[in-house]
């Protein structure tokens, strides 16, 4: 928790200092009130006292109470500002940190866990700061100050107060030790419940298609029951605090009056009894202030177990240094626009036994089309991920325009490439916002003409024009209001509209019919002649006209060449080709 609190900025520290001043003023005002209560008590016991002798100190007490309330309002305002500002900045830090993660970094956390950490966990921290600034600072000041006020009022009363405080400390320690481990479990179970819910929602069609509602309901119920039972145990223990605190508080009040009654009975008549009675009233007020200080601390102890777990989880996210480190500025001048070269590249995933890519070498000249084909798990997509620098090579080098990609700044490297992933990703908004997406190095604002040109190449113009709203047609979350093929074509159009030097298609034609596939590739060849194209595909028909085809098997190069050459000489390619098309179709 302290590691997170060191992230306060100067403005927040200044507001904390101001809050501390007003808290001290508030405590002083509250502890000053019993002094005037003594005057009222003495006036009531003194013959000849007038109404003004009571009203005057009573009015001062009222004024002090109003000033104390104003101080409390000011403290609450600053505490809310500090908590809200800090949590907003912390949430932004977590989001920006995750955005800088590589794929390998993200795999350290599940997506539901990252969502919980950036929302629920930070909300817990915000509540703790908002309450803590008012309670953690106030409680010790009030307790110490009140104890100094009652220290000389009678050792019997002081001992009773000390016993009450000791019982409170024992109870709070017991609760903290018992509940803290449970809240760690609660956060893990919350992640598991979120993951189960997310899987059910994203796979709802599959669940319905297989009549698996009961199976998924049981799975959800198990996760829900585990979370509920753990929460119940922790909250039942915390529920004991209120009645125990009330018992101790009321017990101390009875003890003070019982001790006072004995002392007054044994005291001499007259002024001595009146002084003891006055001291008993004042001591009772101050003793309640001491107990109130510990009651305030108990509020913190209620939320402390959960917030320490949340703080640790947020710190874990912030502590992960992104595995990919970019240069602040591209080191070498860019030349040979659109050239891509792999020089003896090998790559192994973390904790894997074997390389996913082994000794891969090829060169793509500007305007060429290089295709990659192979069985599932052969490393095709990994090649594009390495080029996009989603991970760094284990050995060898990848050059873009003659420069090692590790010598590029992140923005310079990304601006050279247009990437279309295996699963088309669309964002909620409009068609226009999805095509004119991110930063474009060549045009700050994309024109409708540029967008329509990209849609034409991607064979997406027809269904966009069919909607009277055109480019302003809405796109639902995940693009669920479009078919799979339409989503792929929009994702392709988004990459083309950037006019990058290099286009990377990661099996991006899989949802397209053969005719659309062919038309799209013809349009690319015609309108993007100078753009280097790297295509990962499962279908032979998609890559037959590539300038060079790289056949991968278990991460190794099983063959390189044109379609005609590989069909004659490469057994792996022949097996893939003949499993999809007949000899006559391949000949055509």
Q: Which of 312, 323, 321 has the alpha carbon at shortest distance from 117?
A: 312
CA distances from 48 to 202, 270, 489 (A): 83, 15, 98
SS3 for 429-446, per residue? EEHHHHHCCCCCCCCCCC
**Domain ranges (residues) in the chain:** 2-319, 336-416+502-556, 425-499
Q: CATH topology for 336-416+502-556?
A: Rossmann fold (3.40.50)
Q: pLDDT tens digits for 378-401?
A: 888 899 989 988 888 999 999 998
Residue 416 and residue 500 in contact, taking contact as beta carbons nearer than 8 Å: yes
Walk along the chain (588 residues) and give the pLDDT tens digit of each residue: 677 777 888 888 888 888 888 888 888 887 777 777 767 766 666 666 677 877 887 888 888 889 989 988 998 898 889 988 899 999 988 888 888 877 777 777 777 778 888 888 888 888 888 887 777 777 777 777 767 766 666 667 777 777 877 887 787 777 777 777 787 788 778 878 888 887 887 777 788 777 888 888 888 888 888 888 888 887 787 777 778 777 877 787 787 778 777 776 666 554 456 566 666 776 777 777 777 777 777 777 667 777 887 888 888 888 888 778 888 888 776 666 889 999 999 998 887 788 889 999 999 999 899 999 988 888 888 999 899 888 889 999 999 988 899 988 888 888 888 888 888 888 888 988 888 887 654 445 678 888 899 999 999 899 998 888 888 899 988 888 888 888 999 999 999 988 889 999 988 888 888 888 889 888 988 888 889 999 998 888 888 889 999 999 888 888 899 888 888 888 888 888 888 876 666 666
Residue 413 and residue 331 in contact, taking contact as beta carbons nearer than 8 Å: no
pTM for the full predicted model: 0.69
CATH class of 425-499: alpha beta
Examine domains 2-319 and 425-499 and report if their fold is the same: no
- CA–CA–CA angle 34, 36, 38 (5° rounding): 75
CATH class of 2-319: mainly alpha
CA dist 576 and 446 (Å) reads 41
Q: Which of 536, 467, 469, 459 has the alpha carbon at shortest distance from 496?
A: 459
Using DSSP, state whether 546 is helix, strand or coil: coil
Q: pLDDT tens digits for 279-315?
A: 677 677 777 777 777 777 777 766 777 788 788 888 8
């Amino acid at each position: 928790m302290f590691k997170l609190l060191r992230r306060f900025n100067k403005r927040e520290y200044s507001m904390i200092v101001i809050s501390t001043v007003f808290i001290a003023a508030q405590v002083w005002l509250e502890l000053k009130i019993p002094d005037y209560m003594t005057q009222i008590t003495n006036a009531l016991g003194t013959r000849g006292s007038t109404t003004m002798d009571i009203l005057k100190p009573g009015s001062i007490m009222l004024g002090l109470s109003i000033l104390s309330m104003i101080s409390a309002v000011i403290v609450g305002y600053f505490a809310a500002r500090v908590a809200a500002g800090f949590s907003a900045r912390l949430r932004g830090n977590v989001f920006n940190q995750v955005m800088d993660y590589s794929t390998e970094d993200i795999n350290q956390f599940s997506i539901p866990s990252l969502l919980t950490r950036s929302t629920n966990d930070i909300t817990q921290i915000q509540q703790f700061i908002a309450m803590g600034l008012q309670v953690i600072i106030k409680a010790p000041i009030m307790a110490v100050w009140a104890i100094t006020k009652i220290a000389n009022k009678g050792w019997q009363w002081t001992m009773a107060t000390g016993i009450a405080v000791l019982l409170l400390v024992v109870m709070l320690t017991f609760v903290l030790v018992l509940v803290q481990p449970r809240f760690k479990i609660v956060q893990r179970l919350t992640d598991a419940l979120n993951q189960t819910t997310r899987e059910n929602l994203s796979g709802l069609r599959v669940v319905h298609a297989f009549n698996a509602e009961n199976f998924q309901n049981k799975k959800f119920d198990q996760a829900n029951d585990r979370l509920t039972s753990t929460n119940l145990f922790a909250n039942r223990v915390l529920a004991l605090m209120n009645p125990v605190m009330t018992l101790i508080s009321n017990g101390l009040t009875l003890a003070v009056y019982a001790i006072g009654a004995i002392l007054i009975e044994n005291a001499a008549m007259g002024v001595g009894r009146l002084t003891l009675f006055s001291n008993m009233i004042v001591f009772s007020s101050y003793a309640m202030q001491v107990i109130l200080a510990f009651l305030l601390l108990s509020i913190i102890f209620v939320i402390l177990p959960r917030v320490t777990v949340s703080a640790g989880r947020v710190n874990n996210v912030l502590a992960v240094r992104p595995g990919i480190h970019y240069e602040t500025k591209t080191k070498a001048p860019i030349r040979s626009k659109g050239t891509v070269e792999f020089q003896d590249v090998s790559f192994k995933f973390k904790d894997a036994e074997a390389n996913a890519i082994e000794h891969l070498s090829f060169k793509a000249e500007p305007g060429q089309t290089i295709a990659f084909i192979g069985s599932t798990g052969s490393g095709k997509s990994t090649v594009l991920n390495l080029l996009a620098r989603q991970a760094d090579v284990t050995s060898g080098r990848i050059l873009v325009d003659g420069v090692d990609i590790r010598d590029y700044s992140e923005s310079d490297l990304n601006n050279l490439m247009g990437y279309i992933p295996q699963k088309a990703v669309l964002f909620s908004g409009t068609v226009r916002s999805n095509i004119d997406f991110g930063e474009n190095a060549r045009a700050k604002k994309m024109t409708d003409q540029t967008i329509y040109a990209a849609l034409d190449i991607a064979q997406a113009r027809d269904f966009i024009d069919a909607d009277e709203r055109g480019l302003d047609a809405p796109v639902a979350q995940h693009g669920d209001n479009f078919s799979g093929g339409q989503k792929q074509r929009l994702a392709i159009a988004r990459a083309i509209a950037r006019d990058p030097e290099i286009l990377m298609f990661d099996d991006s034609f899989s949802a397209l019919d053969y005719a659309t596939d062919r038309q799209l590739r013809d349009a690319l060849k015609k309108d993007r002649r100078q753009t280097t194209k790297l295509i990962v595909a499962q279908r032979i028909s998609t890559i037959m006209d590539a300038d060079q085809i790289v056949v991968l098997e278990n991460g190794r190069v099983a063959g390189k060449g044109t379609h005609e050459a590989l069909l004659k000489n490469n057994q792996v390619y022949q097996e893939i080709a003949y499993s999809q098309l007949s000899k006559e179709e391949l000949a055509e």
